[in-house]
Amino acid sequence: MEKGPRYSPYELRIARLEAGLTLDEVKDALGLKSKGRISEWENGLRYPGLKNLYKLSALYKTSEAQLFYDLRQEAVKEIEDWFKKVERKKKRKKPP
């Protein structure tokens, strides 16, 4: 499986721009000391914690799921694969 960013940084940047906000405005709204962290999020170098995720979704007036669509899709796929694996193990252990 190809490893890339665990979310779509593009979605974060687009949401910010659609909200008409600058990096400095987002920094101030989130109470951060530097806009560098936001830039790292938008460039896929890091991702925000849960509290900042909720703040971003409120600030950008969008859902957390939209901002982290790729991460959610990856998580759903991993859980589906896990369930399939568990079911296969259960079928092998069933007595005849």
Q: What pLDDT sits at residue 6?
A: 45
- The total number of structural domains in the chain stands at 1
pLDDT of residue 68: 80
Distance CA 84, CA 79 (A): 9
Q: Is the pLDDT of residue 49 over 60?
A: yes
pLDDT for residue 34 is more than 90:
yes
Q: What is the pLDDT of residues 2-30, one digit of tens each?
A: 444 445 677 889 999 999 999 999 999 99
**Does a structural domain hold residue 4?**
no
Domain span holding position 76: 9-93
Phi-psi region of 20 (alpha: psi -120 to 50; beta: other; left: phi over 0): left
When mean pLDDT is compared over 4-13, 19-28, 43-52, 74-83, the highest value belongs to 19-28
3 located within any domain? no
Does the residue 64 lie in any domain? yes
Task: Looking at mean pLDDT, say which of 23-27, 85-89, 90-94 comes out highest.
Answer: 23-27
Query: Residue 83 is part of a domain; what is its CATH number?
Result: 1.10.260.40
